Structure 1
């Protein structure tokens, strides 16, 4: 099975690194990258992802807001915050997981666990 993975990130390079990590681990994916609320909504309508990987801190758009949109429009999709840093005192919405970008090597194992890939 090919898994549809939606990457929500203002950094094209970071989204590409996540895609490369999954591909390198032999996980069959079709990835799409979005970086705004409008492009997220469009992708949820026509791409129907199995998994959403979202940055937390993006200019003009937050991971928390992305989470709310995904839960409303694609409630069956698994959701992972993939971020460069976490604020110790900031509570996060109840995503399926949180992974720091410097721990990207753990992404394939996490995806296999969440999707049964």
Structure 2
């Protein structure tokens, strides 16, 4: 919702006069509104299903229907809609119970001075929660894609593994991420290779933000293999490593070289 868009307000209220009082209060607070009033559980259920609402403002007592029942219905719908109780006869005990049940705020009808502020605050918080959920979905999708990649992918923070995908575990002969996460990434390379990283590769990478080449890595069982490795620095100070085993391609390359040499010098 942008700043210029009107708020979609759903009122659970049996009194038309009280509903108009709430609307006038919100408009006097500078809010633009689209609003609708309901008085029954069935009407609420229908409107929750058919329309998108930015906030629900509910009277505590309605004939045959009340705010606790309405709140439970909203929660069962799994919609993250701010729920504010406005009542003329709610005691402190009932107000506390409503807040414990999940209501976002409550006000008395004879003191609605902070209603507009409360609505804007809760709508803003709901928007922030949605952004966090959307971000989590994107992150989870990205992680799922990374896990599906055959290449080994690792994230290194301050010299230790922060994340490794299944491909990385398989490449180095490990089973569980806990075997590597938190451990120095230098453990998987020989002293000679680490000296090469420190003296040659890292300085190049820091200049342009990335490096691509070959290295000799060490598996969990101590065996070594040739790998193609890409290193990239992130804006957050971490390093992303993408690796693949090129042992077979190196063997094929060596075989072709030997074959070429033989054809050029068959007497050797």
- Give the structure-2-normalised TM-score: 0.41
The alignment covers a number of residue pairs equal to 116
Larger fraction in helix: 2
Whether 1:98 and 2:106 are equivalent positions in the alignment is yes
What's the offset of the Cα at 1:2? 1.4
Structure with max Cα Rg:
2
TM-align CA RMSD: 1.4
Residue 89 of structure 1 aligns to a residue whose secondary structure is helix
Whether 1:4 and 2:8 are equivalent positions in the alignment is yes
Q: For 2:93, which of 89, 92, 98 is the aligned residue?
A: 89
- Give the structure-1-normalised TM-score: 0.90
Q: Which runs of 5+ in 1 are unaligned?
A: none
Find the counterpart in structure 1 of residue 56 from structure 2: 52
Aligned positions of 1:1-117 closer than 5 A: 1-90=5-94, 91-92=97-98, 93-116=101-124
Residue 14 of structure 2 aligns to a residue whose secondary structure is coil
Take 2:22 and 2:51, find their aligned partners in 1: how far apart are those partners? 18
What's the offset of the Cα at 1:11? 0.9
Change (3 A) 1:107 1:41: same
Residue 7 of structure 1 aligns to a residue whose secondary structure is strand
Q: Which runs of 5+ in 2 are unaligned?
A: 125-268
What's the offset of the Cα at 1:36? 0.6
Higher relative contact order (CA 8 A, sep 6+): 1
